[in-house]
Chains A and B, each alone.
Chain A
Amino acid sequence: MSGVNELRIVGFLCNWCSYGGADAAGVGRLAQPTDLRIIRMPCSGRINPLFVARTLLSGADGVLVSGCHPRDCHYAEGNFYARRRLEVFKRLLPTLGIDPGRFEYTWVSASEGQRWQTVVTTFTEQIHRLGPMPRFSPGEACVAVLAESGG
């Protein structure tokens, strides 16, 4: 991504598969974009969809969640619950006025270094296409209210 300003992307990765996968990609010296900051979680089932909401509202431009493949969860069923929650949350985004492409969830196992590289690269490109996340501007909001009240 040379010549392009970095954007802020946060990744929530499960400890057992995707974090290992990202590590494998690093050990294998696979080139990856550097926009992503990783937060290690015990399991994708630990990831509250509201983590994603809070992250997007607090300054991130994109959020990536990755866990073990379905049927491969270290805790047997954490990612099954996660899948339902995250899918519901992703579908709420259009109504919030946030592009649903700013949030993706996927599954990467500990041995899939290559797949991790593809996921990170694709997602980073996607966020760069969308650009920085729009923000509520407190200043403008005040001006709008004042203008409305004629003050």
Chain B
Amino acid sequence: MNVLSQLKEQIAATLPNLDLVIGWERGFDPLHHTPLFMRRPEDVERLVIDALCVHNLAVYLPGLKNKKVGVAVKGCDSRAVNQLAREGLIKRENVVVFGFPCDGAADLTKVRRQLGDISGVQSAALEGDLLRVVVDGKERETPLKDVLADKCLRCRYPNALTHDHFAGEPREARVQTDDYKDVVDFEALPLEARFAHWQQEMQRCIRCYACRNACPMCVCRDHCVAQSRDPHWVTQEDETREKWMFQIIHAMHLAGRCVECGECQRACPVDIPILALKRKLNKEIRELFDFEAGVDPQAVPPLLSFQVEEKNINERGW
């Protein structure tokens, strides 16, 4: 029995005890899947799981806090469930987690880069290690590994870290450790080049806040400081500086909380590489406090605690 039918069976069996189960279904075109909210048994039939299930569905959980909700999660998404539960933003006992072995999710920006314009896509098929699409009657293909999201290429947790049901067999992780090479490489650039990089990238920002809305850990929703006038953290001026300020706020509000699901960067309509900021913070949090968000459901978030003598902070040197 394949993973999908096993997952469907598990969901169908649990659905009567739940208000809804969240999964993925085919969206407006064959390359875009969309979240699926299953309430009736017949909804379960529309469920799909493959490399195009890009969304982190844990983002819906805080808004459904008092409902009995099931959710299908990839490995990275499960870290968000753990972290939300640890912070008391969801009740873990109200959530039923359906895990499955994840082979990686496609990055549609990379697909576009490999295959050109995909707006008129007629069909898409994943055959083994190949992604085959038909655009305007012409068939094009690319190896799946060339279009996987960067986060998947360095994935250490392909299987849900927390789950109540698991379909299929757990798979091996692609890598065992994350050396944060991207962060180190970026910091090897001269300071001026790094500053210029962000000026270049951030001026594209249209302030749609898709990065915030897609983030499972951004739970303030209507009370986000980006749109508040009191306090007035960012102005309405159309300046790169203000867009940049918002990204710094977003990154700092996620310090020690970010689970690196990469939703901010995926949701960005103008492809600003904002995950780099969160990666940097996660690298530092790991070095300073030996902490990774959402991995150990019992671990105390580092910025909510302290030690009188900090092992790794040497502030007296200044």
B256 near A: Cβ within 8 Å?
yes
Inter-subunit contact A88/B281 (CB<8 Å):
yes
Which of the segments B108-116, B125-133, B183-191 contacts the partner chain?
A: B183-191
Q: How far is the CB of B270 from chain A (nearest CB, A)?
A: 12
- Contacts of B284 on A, CB cut-off 8 Å? 88, 91-92
- Contacts of A137 on B, CB cut-off 8 Å? 199
Q: How far is the CA of A80 from the CA of B307 in the complex (A)?
A: 7
Inter-subunit contact A83/B308 (CB<8 Å):
no
Contact flag A50-B281 (CB < 8 Å), given A87-B313, A88-B255 = no
Inter-subunit contact B308/A53 (CB<8 Å):
no
Chain A minimum-CB-distance residue to B253 = A50
User: Within residues 182 to 205 of chain B, which ones have a CB less than 8 A from any CB in chain A?
Assistant: 183, 186-187, 191-200, 202-203
Which of the segments B87-95, B208-216, B242-250 contacts the partner chain?
A: B242-250
A94 near B: Cβ within 8 Å?
yes
Inter-subunit contact B252/A141 (CB<8 Å):
no
A1 near B: Cβ within 8 Å?
no
Inter-subunit contact B252/A97 (CB<8 Å):
no
Q: What is the predominant secondary structure among interface residues of chain A facing chain B?
A: helix
Chain B minimum-CB-distance residue to A80 = B306
Inter-subunit contact A92/B313 (CB<8 Å):
no
Q: How far is the CA of A134 from the CA of B277 in the complex (A)?
A: 19
- Contacts of B195 on A, CB cut-off 8 Å? 96-98, 134
Which of the segments A10-18, A20-28, A99-107 contacts the partner chain?
A: A99-107
The count of A-to-B residue pairs whose CB atoms sit within 8 angstroms is: 113
Inter-subunit contact A84/B186 (CB<8 Å):
no
Q: How far is the CA of A88 from the CA of B281 in the complex (A)?
A: 7
- Contacts of A144 on B, CB cut-off 8 Å? 200, 203
- Contacts of B252 on A, CB cut-off 8 Å? 49-50, 53, 88-89, 92
Query: Which of B183, B241, B256 is in CB contact (< 8 Å) with A88?
Result: B256
Inter-subunit contact A104/B303 (CB<8 Å):
no
- Contacts of B202 on A, CB cut-off 8 Å? 136
A37 near B: Cβ within 8 Å?
no
B-contacting residues of A (Cβ < 8 Å)? 49-50, 53-54, 57, 70-71, 77, 80-81, 83-85, 87-89, 91-92, 94-99, 104-107, 134-138, 141, 144-145
Q: Which 5 A-B pairs have the closest CB atoms?
A: A97-B195, A97-B194, A80-B306, A95-B280, A91-B284
